[in-house]
Amino acid sequence: MEIIVIVVLVVVLAGAALFFYQRQRSGQLQNRFGPEYDHAVEESGDKRAAERDLRERQRRVAKLDVPPLTGATAERYRAEWNQVQAGFVDEPGQAVEDADRLVLRMLREAGYPVDEFDQRVNDISVDHPEVAEHYRAAHQVAVARDRGEADTEELRQAVTAYRQLVDALLTDHDNSKEQA
């Protein structure tokens, strides 16, 4: 009888330990990914699948060589971004197209694979989870703009969203300078 009690107690304790371990891992992912965690759960409809996906994103990006932009490159991109923003007044649609292309070039130069949008935004979400959703929204407007379906307010919001990603990539450069 004592053996049965001990076995049951060990099983219960192992189950409790597993439960708390999984909660801790979930909490770490929520803290790491913030709103991107919620997006992944909502998109998959399954918390465990979403968490698996987020861990896989981390593993994938850890294998990439994603150095911060160099000083001269970062300054060039800052200047280009200022031109994009200034161009919005006269040509909002063109500014969105230019912003999309600029972001793509910045990501490529930073070392992110850029072939497929969904993979690109998933990769970005590892280092910049706070801007991943903004990037999705901006890209969606850029696609709508290509079809002639975006109004000026949507274009303005897209440029603002692109700016958040540009700022995040340039902040990587600024932070790497401070650490050097």
Highest mean pLDDT: which of 1-10, 103-112, 166-175?
Answer: 103-112
Instruction: Measure the CA–CA gap between 123 and 3, rounded to whole angstroms.
Output: 50
Spatial CA neighbour of 38 closest among 21, 50, 22, 55: 50
* Residues 91-107: tens digit of each pLDDT: 999 999 999 999 999 99
CA angle, corner 169, sides to 121 and 61, nearest 5? 45
Angstrom CA distances, 95 to 9, 18, 22, 100, 105, stand at: 65, 51, 45, 8, 15
Q: Average pLDDT, stretch 64-92?
A: 91
pLDDT at 111: 86
Average pLDDT rounded to a whole number, residues 108-127 = 91
Confidence class for position 172, pLDDT limits 50, 70, 90: low
Does residue 11 carry a pLDDT above 80?
Answer: no
pLDDT at residue 180, as a whole number: 45
Determine the pLDDT at residue 87.
Answer: 95
pLDDT at 174 over 80: no
- How much is the pLDDT for 16? 65
Instruction: Provide the whole-model pTM.
Output: 0.79
- The type of residue at 173 is H
Q: Is the pLDDT of residue 25 over 60?
A: yes
